[in-house]
Amino acid sequence: MNKKLSIVLIIWTAIAVISLAWALGIHTPGINGSSSQNVERGSIPHSTVRINSDAEFSSSDAVISGTGTAGDPYIISGWEIDAHGEDAAIYIGNTSSYVLIKDCHVFNATNSAGYARGSGIALYSSNHILVENVTSEGNPNGIWISTYSSSINISNSMLVDNGIGISLHFRASHLEIFNNRIDGKFTGIRMDYGVNNITAEKNRIYNVTDYGIEMLGSLERISNITLERNTIRWTGYGIYMLSENAYHRIIGNIISNSSNDGIYAKDNVHDNTIENNTILYPENCGINVDNSDSSDKGFNRNVIANNDIAQTTSHGILINGRFGGASHNRISGNRINNSGASGIYLYDATDNRIDNNTLEYSREYGLRIYGYSDSNIIDGNIIIHTRFYAIYLLSSDGNEIYNNSFYYNNGTGDVYDPSNSQAYDSSGNNQWDHGGRGNYWHDLAGSYTDGDDDGILDGVSYPIAGGKGAADNYPLANPGGDIPELHMIILLLALTAITIISIMNKRIH
């Protein structure tokens, strides 16, 4: 490696480390955009707090100042509250006054059968509440928000060793959850029963056994959720969507070391954007769309774009539309490296577009299309060094495959061997070119030329395995994109650096 390339690699690695560390919300102490995190939490003992109307604020000794207006909110601050097994350390219900809860330490609200569900802080049918720099630990729910509660902000807080870090229930809406740390036990953030218009940004969710972020739409649709720049590590599932979930923006999150899928979606998940996420080392799929039960209602009109997925135990992206279908989705610009099975797997998925993805070193197929996955458009992808076929089409018809670039798949090399093909088509009813342009096959391009400079190799077609006579009749002389030689090296170096920073940060706190 020459000196210039070494310098470029070092610079880009540094940029990757800094960018991903910023996305993770990992900073050195005192440089985190909030001075409140340096304030001691909950130093003065206090009994449990229960306020069940606006009128009760003025009589509560937990309120240290304020009049309940936007400019002068009621302030509950500085308390250490042991709930002694009651159902909440701080309960506020049926209020619309402006309230600031800050610098408190709440714990031991273990009565999950009680009205407030065993919560460090419980907010019921209340609006205009800011929770800041609070530590909630050892409760079934760290913070529980329910029943049309809205205009609530939770920021810069520590939610440790709770069953669920933050639980949003029954049409809670217009909440912001920002820059919190959630550590253990079962679920980081849970949303159910009609929760909508929630933004969760720059939170760190670690060491939960079940779900980093769980969205359950079985009773009523979960909608308009923005999950952005969160770090989710050492969880069961990273992000989990069950039953109707719609109009979400899942953008720029770091999900790693999940014991199941990085992102999981099942049963009527539609019109969502899953973009610019980094998913590393999941023990199943990077993104798993699972409509395998007869009651499932499909996965439709979603965008999965520009995600980095690496080192999966199973598929990079799995779209299973067996029941309910999977159609009119776009899977675009993703970079999938070292998937344990296929880079992208479509099962019974129709009328989708799979374009401009880079699939490297898949341990089975680059792109597997199976089980009546018909009428998909597959264009502009780069597939490199898969163990078996770059594209494997089985029991699927009417797909268009063009302008893709294939390198070193299924044991092929730099010179064409007619006994070996990079692709397989069991039906022969798929189109391997479009408008007089096919695909770039690196082995074929190494053995034939384009003498008339029309971009098509002269006098040759590329046979597709499968025994049905499928062929690319217009093989391209030049590839459609560059091989991303350094991309995953930089990504994995960045992950190593982030892991070190994360461990150091964990020890500091």
Per-residue pLDDT tens for 317-335?
999 999 999 999 999 999 9
User: Has residue 487 got a pLDDT over 80?
Assistant: no
Contact 169, 140 (CB under 8 A): no
Q: How confident is the model at residue 115 (pLDDT cuts 50, 70, 90)?
A: confident
Contact 311, 278 (CB under 8 A): no
Rounded percentage of the chain residues whose pLDDT exceeds 70: 86
Q: Within its chain, how far is the Cα of 162 from the centroid?
A: 23
Residue-level pLDDT at 29: 32
Contact 126, 94 (CB under 8 A): yes
User: Has residue 126 got a pLDDT over 50?
Assistant: yes
What is the chain's mean pLDDT, rounded? Answer: 90
Lookup: tokens for 9: 């690699």
Residue-level pLDDT at 376: 98
Rounded percentage of the chain residues whose pLDDT exceeds 90: 83
Residue-level pLDDT at 40: 63
User: 185: cis peptide before it, omega within 30°?
Assistant: yes
Backbone angles phi, psi at 14, to 5 degrees: -60, -45
Q: In a 10 Å sphere around its CB, with 0-12 CB exposed, 13-18 middle and 19+ buried, how is residue 492 labelled?
A: middle
Per-residue pLDDT tens for 212-255?
999 999 999 999 999 999 999 999 999 999 999 999 999 999 99
Q: How confident is the model at residue 484 (pLDDT cuts 50, 70, 90)?
A: low
Residue-level pLDDT at 438: 98
pTM recorded for the entire structure? 0.89
User: Has residue 480 got a pLDDT over 60?
Assistant: yes
Residue-level pLDDT at 43: 86
Residue-level pLDDT at 2: 47
Q: Where are the beta strands (DSSP E) in 40-140?
A: 44-46, 49-51, 63-65, 74-77, 79-82, 88-93, 99-102, 105-107, 119-124, 127-132, 135-137
